[in-house]
Amino acid sequence: MAYLTAILASAFGVALLDARFRLAFWRAPRATALTVLAGTAFFLAWDLAAIASGIFLHRESPHMTGIMLGPELPLEEPVFLAFFCYTALALYAGAVHVLSLRAARQEGKAP
């Protein structure tokens, strides 16, 4: 349970930064949701292919919920994948924002 809690708490922190700087979800909620969903689906398909080929194996841990969505697929995996995609999107949007501010300052147009 600790792992799922850590993922959700971290996602909350990213959401706070996103809200403060209007990086992704608070700038374009629909596009953000679709992008995170598409990324999560892609990586989940990748995981399922790895599970089917015997590359990924689940090991019991006292830090996980123990809820399995399928063979070798714990509940925490799709939650982590969604967090991973949202964080990547927020980081990208933040980098674009910083670079655009820097360019505006160099042109003398920034506040």
Confidence category of residue 109, pLDDT binned at 50, 70, 90: low
Residues 14-28, mean pLDDT to the nearest whole number: 95
In sign, the C-alpha dihedral spanning 17, 83, 37, 92 is: positive
In this structure, which long-range contacts are made by residues 82-87, counting pairs with CB atoms below 8 Å and at least 24 apart in sequence?
82/11, 82/36, 82/40, 83/7, 83/10, 83/11, 83/14, 84/39, 84/43, 85/35, 85/36, 85/39, 85/40, 85/43, 86/11, 86/14, 86/15, 86/24, 86/25, 86/32, 86/36, 87/10, 87/11, 87/14
What pLDDT is attached to residue 104? 86
Range of the domain at 101: 2-107
Q: Is the pLDDT of residue 1 over 70?
A: yes
pLDDT in the model for residue 106: 86
Q: Which of these ranges, 21-25, 32-36, 56-60, has the smallest mean pLDDT?
A: 56-60
pLDDT tens digits for range 41-84:
999 999 999 999 999 888 888 999 999 999 999 999 999 999 99
For the question of whether the overall pTM of this predicted structure is more than 0.85, the answer is: yes
**pLDDT beyond 80 at 17:** yes
Structural domains counted in the chain: 1
